[in-house]
Structure formats: structure tokens, C-alpha cells
Amino acid sequence: MFDNFLVPDFLPAAPELFLAVMAMVILLVDLTVKDSRRTLTFALTQLTLLGCAVIQLMTSTGDVVYTFSNMFVDDLMADLLKLFLYMTVIVVLFYSRAYLLDREVMNKGEYYVLALFATLGMMVMISANHFVTIYLGLELLSLSMYALVAMNRDSVASTEAAMKYFVLGALASGLLLYGMSMIYGATGTLEITGLAERLYGGGANKTVLAFGLVFMVSGLAFKLGVVPFHMWIPDVYHGAPTSVTLFIGSAPKLAAFAIVMRLLVNGMISMAQDWQAMLVIMSVLSMAIGNLAAIAQTNLKRMLAYSAISHMGFMLLGITTGVVGGDARFALNAYSSAMFYVLAYVVMTTGTFGMILLMARAGFEAENLDDYKGLNKRSPWFAGIMLMMMFSMAGIPFFVGFFAKFSVLQAVVAAGYMWLAIVAVLFSLIGAFYYLRVVKLMYFDPPADTSPLTAGMDMRILISANGLAVALLGIFPQMLMSLCAYALLRSL
């Protein structure tokens, strides 16, 4: 019965296996240690993520390696995104530490274990080369996130946000599965590289493929949070505990980008003209609705939610302009600019929510715009870091957000979509208003609370390093840009 069974190569998936084992070990350790601060659980979680990064570097060959019957792929794009993922989750958990300690209902070992399982889901998504692998990773991430959003059981807003997220997430998963089943019906394969070969050879039913593509793109759009599948983002960002909002707003964007690249670019590049048309519409609508709706917000988390919608719309521009009329000359430039944009966005959003968590304390969330009035008088250093984050998000030189936007715009212009670049610049100008409003409140309005802003040494160092990263990556963006281009060149 098992004569033909081939033992898979476990080395490419070593970080995933290590994290899965350690998550279960941490769950058991947390049951036995009676420590209300959960210090050991927190330390083990951070060491696990560091261990994953070390294993990732040690097992990376620089080549494209398939394992588990071609269901799992390890390449440079996966390596780079996963290393960024580990760093992001480490920083997110450090930022969340003080917030969780102030809220006893949330400071549980399960919080860290769920964060690890969500990270495992994202790792699987990044390395997926099969529809089933994508779905497994996606559900592992989604189910962990639903639980994290509902973690604060005493909050009606958190429970409501978790219910909305769960219902709409289930709908999106259904759309994605339905699209995958139709594409399987048309091509007879579930493997992404196999799908590219079948489509290139022709012979698949074009009508079934088109319907399958629409459903699949809809499911992906939900995970990216772009219009018209953005309904969950403002409510979940606002209702979730701030530490969870930081998690949702940062790391999953890396996994969503990887899935879009694997499915649309690796698997369905021969149908580029079909899916590009959909992405252009989603991109323009996301920039329009995201930026215009953000202006009306008085809650900073809701404002950042609409900002996230517009940023993901901007990122889609890079993926949209990779192949023009069957000409793939601009592909590497366009896709690497989109990848650079995602990485820059994660750095910026982590720092911004890190500042919100630093301002928050027991019984106070610091999520309204008025809470930032006169911040410069309370702490010029932290106000300066928040100013850098807002300037970078707005795309003002010379921060990383400016070069992220600039790299996408030059890819769009190079591909001949001048009108799209003009639209993107116009909506970026509109978007600058609500970011600069936060700066105006911090520097020109009198503070409601004059007490000095205090933070632990670890938080001070980390948030300062985050601000420094936004500034230095803006002044010296070439290294990260080259790294993105090289990783994609060796992977696609």
C-alpha cells in the first residue's frame, strides 16, 4: 500500500514545523506556570520567533525548492517575506506587552499561542503552491484572528467586531473556495505551477475560468481589504483591542501580498488582461473611498482603517501594471515596487499603532484624534516619532512612504498608464489632509492632559528604532528595493 510513498523533504518547511511544535509546548508550559504577568510565556514566544528567523536563514538555498508533492514552495520571495513577518510579530508583541498587562482579561497565555498560530498560518500562505495549502494557511490565520478580536469578552465593541469579522470572513473563504473549485473544474489541477502550464497550453473552458477568476479575486480582495470588499475593516479595526488591531493591520498584509503573487502572477499570468481589469477598478475605488472616508473620521483607529484601504489600493497598482498587452518587460519593476510598498506599509503601520499603544493606559484607549492634542508639550520625542509616521503615510519626502509611492508611480508610468498615475497622485494629495491634521493637533493645539508621557525603556528603544527605520529607509531605500527585485527575480 505504501510502496510508492515518497518521504517529503522537511528542510524547506523547518521553520513552520519548529513554530508548530513550540506553539503547543508554550500552551502546555503556560498551564503549569502560575505567573499572572505571563513573563515566561512572552519570553518563549519571542524566542520561538527568533528561532524561526535563524532556521529560515540557515535553510535558505536561494533556489526554488518544492516539497510535499509540490504543495509547498521555498524560494527567495518566501524567505524575505517570512523574515519580515517574524520581525513584525516580534515588534507587535513587544508593543502589546504593556497594553496587555493593564488589561487582566486579555493577559492570558492563549493570546501568545493564538498569535503564534496566526503567524504559522501566514507562513503557510506565503509558501503555498497548491489551492489546498492556501486554504489551510488562510483558515489557520483567520480562525486565530477571530479569537484574538473577541479576546476582550467584557467589551461589547470587541464581541460585535469579532462576529462581523467571522461572518464576512466565512463568506470570503466561501468565495475563494468556489473560485478554486471552478478553476479546478476547467483545468483539472489544484497545483499553482501546474495551473500555469495548463492555461498556457490552452484548451480550458474560458467561461468557467472567467467565473472562477472573478470569485477568486473577490476572495483575495477581502483578505487585502480593498473596495468593494472592505466593509469589515473599519468596524474590526475600531472594535478590536488596539493590540489586536496592530496585529491585523500589519503582518497579514505580507501573507495577502504573497497569495496574490502566487495565484495571479505565478498561476494565472496568461489571464493577466482579465484580472488586471478587475484590479484597476478595485485600486481606483479603494484609493477614492479610503481617502475620502478617512477625512470624516474622529477616531484614529477608524481613520487608519480607511487609510489601510487606500494604501492597499495603491499597492495593487504595482501588480496591475506588470504585464501590458502580453508584454512582460515591466513585470519585475512593477512587482518589486508593489513588494517594497507592502514592506514599507508594514513598518509605518506598526510604528503608528505602537504610538497608540504607548499612549493607552488602563481604562483609556487613546484612540480619538483629540487625545493627541498638545502631544508635543507632553513629550517632544514621541510627538516627533508620530510626526514621522504621519509624514511617511502621507508620502511626504524624505520618508519611506514617499519612496514606496514613488516606486509604484514610476512603474505605472513606465507601463503607459499615465491616467492611473494622475488619479493616484490626486487621491494621495487628498489623503495628506487627514495625516497632517494629526500633526496639527499634536503641535498647535493645547493639551487636554498636561502630565508627562512615560514609557518603559524597552518601549522607548523599540518605538525610536521604528521611527529611525522609517527615516533611514526613506533616505537609503535602494538596499530594500534591490532586495525585493532580486528576491522576485529568483522566485518568479
pLDDT computed for residue 1 by the predictor: 47
Q: Specify the pTM.
A: 0.94
Please report whether residue 359 resides in a domain. Answer: yes
pLDDT computed for residue 3 by the predictor: 55
Please report whether residue 3 resides in a domain. Answer: no
Q: Is 392 in contact with 348 (CB distance < 8 Å)?
A: yes
Q: Which amino acid is at 195?
A: L
Please report whether residue 2 resides in a domain. Answer: no
Q: How far apart are CA 48 and CA 199, in angstroms?
A: 41
How many other CB atoms sit within 10 Å of the CB of residue 113? 22
Q: Is 48 in contact with 77 (CB distance < 8 Å)?
A: no
Q: Is 55 in contact with 83 (CB distance < 8 Å)?
A: no
Q: What is the pLDDT along the chain (492 residues), one digit of tens a residue?
A: 455 667 888 899 999 999 999 999 999 999 888 877 788 999 999 999 999 999 999 998 888 899 988 899 999 999 999 999 999 999 999 999 988 988 888 888 899 999 999 999 999 999 999 999 999 999 999 999 999 999 888 889 999 999 999 999 999 999 999 999 999 999 888 999 888 888 887 777 888 998 999 999 999 999 888 988 888 999 999 999 999 999 999 999 999 999 999 999 988 888 888 898 899 999 999 999 999 999 999 999 999 999 999 999 999 999 988 877 666 777 888 999 999 999 999 999 999 999 999 888 766 778 888 888 988 988 899 999 999 999 999 999 889 999 999 999 999 998 888 999 999 999 999 999 999 999 999 999 888 777 778 778 888 899 999 999 999 999 999 999 999 999 999 887
Please report whether residue 5 resides in a domain. Answer: no
Phi, psi (deg, nearest 5) at residue 128: -70, 135
Give residues with Cβ within 8 angstroms of 268, minimum separation 6. Answer: 195, 196, 199, 213, 275
Please report whether residue 6 resides in a domain. Answer: no
Domain count of the fold of the chain = 1
pLDDT computed for residue 381 by the predictor: 92
Q: Choose among 398, 390, 400, 298: nearest CA to 352.
A: 390
pLDDT computed for residue 38 by the predictor: 85
CA 220 to chain centre: 13
Q: Is 487 in contact with 76 (CB distance < 8 Å)?
A: yes
Please report whether residue 458 resides in a domain. Answer: yes
Residue 367: all three cell numbers together: 484612540
pLDDT in tens, 402-423: 999 999 999 999 888 899 999 9
Please report whether residue 209 resides in a domain. Answer: yes
CA 79 to chain centre: 16
Give residues with Cβ within 8 angstroms of 403, minimum separation 6. Answer: 340, 344, 473, 474, 477, 481
Q: 115: domain range?
A: 11-491
Please report whether residue 28 resides in a domain. Answer: yes
pLDDT computed for residue 4 by the predictor: 65
pLDDT computed for residue 33 by the predictor: 84
